[in-house]
Amino acid sequence: MESQELHHHFVLIPLMVPSHLLPMVDIAKLLARRKNVTVTLLTTPINADRIRATIDTEILQSGSSLQIQLFQFPNSESGVPEGCESFDALPSTDLLQNFFKALSLLQDPLEEAFEKLRPIPTCIISDKSIPSAADIAKKFQVPRLIFDGTSCFNLLSTHCLRSSKVYENVSDSESFIVPGLPNKISFRKSQLPSSLISSSTRQLGISGFYEKVREAEEEAYGVIVNSFEELEEEYVKEYKRVTGRKVWCIGPVSLSTKDDIDEAQRRTTDSNEEEEEGQYLKWLDSWPARSVIYVCLGSLSRVAPEQLMELGLGLEASKRPFILVLRGAYKRDEMEKLLKEDGLEERVKERGLIIRGWVPQVLILSHTAIGSFLTHCGWNSTLEGISNGVPLITFPMFSEQFYNEKVIVEVLQTGVKVGAEKHMHIWGEDKDGEVQVKKEKVKEAIEKVMSEDDEESKRIRERAKEYAEKANKTMQKEGSSTLNISLLIEDLAHFMRMKMNPGVKPHTNA
């Protein structure tokens, strides 16, 4: 039950990258729709421009007490070029260390902005990769929640791997079982995030930053997770048990969008592509239900042009309609040259769209024509596919994406692997022209989820439909994620009462 006596002012500090910024905006909207709640998003000018239309629409439609407060990104101090205030805007991966340095220099600009906020903030929700928020929370004596941007499966797996260090005594190609998980899950060392492997972070010169992130994580009041309990109930319970942390699953937060206009405004580029978006949806209208393959490998893809061509050739061989989104493809000029030389785009023009720019992904995934989603397994994309009942074809590349593949293929059994076996480093050069997955594997994976004759394909599609129903139910009035937001607000109200009256007993998060 929500507190009617106390007013809450949540300050949200998102990481400057679209995959973290957009879900934090959705969280802001969900919180601001509650009674007696004010929400401030604290971000930089360029990132504010990316989300302003969405915020303005939310205020107009819901009357939410929602605002943006700016702080200056430390470009000159960190050596990040002016105009670059987001990871995806970096002109070169050589500037990665500079970007992490900028993140380490955020305390002063954040603190200056924080002091201006009214009403006085009562809680900070910060991305876990902004450790400066921990010092601000201490100084102003407010509880701080971290937003991890991943799943409880990832949180528990990371905890178990850090505790056991079972991966330290195996080769890169050797499989091992992760101890302490509800399911029997195995990985190869080459599939683990670089943030977990100390030698990788030392080589990149960012091990000190990750150490600060872990320290700040340990000190947090609790964790907000963009997931829902029905998706990974055993992992939520076990993560709470082994860490003793307060955990609130409040997702899928992308379901906070109310209509097509709201979704279209989630664009994080400065492009003017409304007309093209309408054309994509009109093109989808021309195809039968569950017939189109949607392929998007995220905004930070490092897939070699040769590998992208294999994906395209596999799509061609499937003889099914498809959308292939290149976005800011790695080595774009080389990619365009390969496309032209091979003639792929011309050959498939009657049934294939190759899109270079941004697309309204949730609108596309919700279209009845979509039959499968070949994804890099970013958690946002994974949840968007699950929420729309779309079977997934998994092509993980970096970060926790191999963890998410395990959720999809082995825990939920709502998709199949395309065959990627090791990281493609987001910040470095993989072997030029490296191809992990050939066109034959792409075609095979597509058939495994879209075949009308195969019984396992039918079961995958049915399970995908069931989880979509659960996802949408959890965000409804009596759903578990909606309830968890209420429980979060009540917990913080209890915390405030404890500050005013030390005799009040602590609140638990069972």
Please report the domains of the chain, with CATH numbers, ordered by start residue.
8-250+476-500 (3.40.50.2000), 274-472 (3.40.50.2000)
Instruction: Give the DSSP letter string of 237-251.
Output: HHHHHHH---EEE--
Question: Phi, psi at residue 430, to the nearest 5°?
Answer: -80, 175
Give burial (CB, 10 Å; 0-12/13-18/19+) of 218. exposed
Tokens 């979704």: give the residue: 263
E strand or H helix at 269: none
- What is each CA distance from 293 to 121, 313, 322, 467, in whole angstroms? 46, 13, 4, 20
The residue length of the chain stands at 510
Conformation bin of residue 423: beta by default, left when phi > 0, alpha when psi is -120 to 50: beta
Residue 94, SS3? helix
Tokens 């005594």: give the residue: 169
- Calpha distance 185→188 (Å, rounded): 11
pTM: 0.93
Q: What is the DSSP letter of 373?
A: E
- Calpha distance 368→75 (Å, rounded): 44
Q: 68-93 burial, b if ≥16 CB within 10 A, otherwise e?
A: bbbbebbbeebebeeebbbbbbbeee
Q: What is the DSSP letter of 430?
A: P
Alpha carbon 460 to chain centroid, angstroms: 23
Contact call for residues 247 and 236 (beta carbons, < 8 A): yes
Tokens 């365009």: give the residue: 336
List per-residue pLDDT tens for the chain, 510 residues long: 444 468 999 999 999 999 999 999 999 999 999 999 999 999 999 999 999 999 999 999 999 999 999 999 999 999 999 999 999 898 887 898 899 999 999 999 999 999 999 999 999 999 999 999 999 999 999 999 999 899 999 999 999 999 999 999 998 888 999 999 999 999 999 899 888 876 555 555 677 888 899 999 999 999 999 999 999 999 999 999 999 999 999 999 999 976 655 555 555 444 455 667 788 999 999 999 999 999 999 877 778 889 999 999 999 999 999 999 987 666 778 888 989 999 999 999 999 999 988 899 999 999 999 999 999 999 999 999 999 999 999 999 988 999 999 999 999 999 999 999 887 765 444 455 678 999 999 999 999 999 999 999 999 999 999 999 999 999 999 999 999 999 999 999 999 988 877 766 666 665
E strand or H helix at 65: none
Q: Report the DSSP beta bridge partners of residue 416.
A: 393
Give the pairing of strands 175-177 and 186-188. Answer: antiparallel
Q: Spell out where 364-462 has E strands.
A: 370-375, 392-394, 415-417
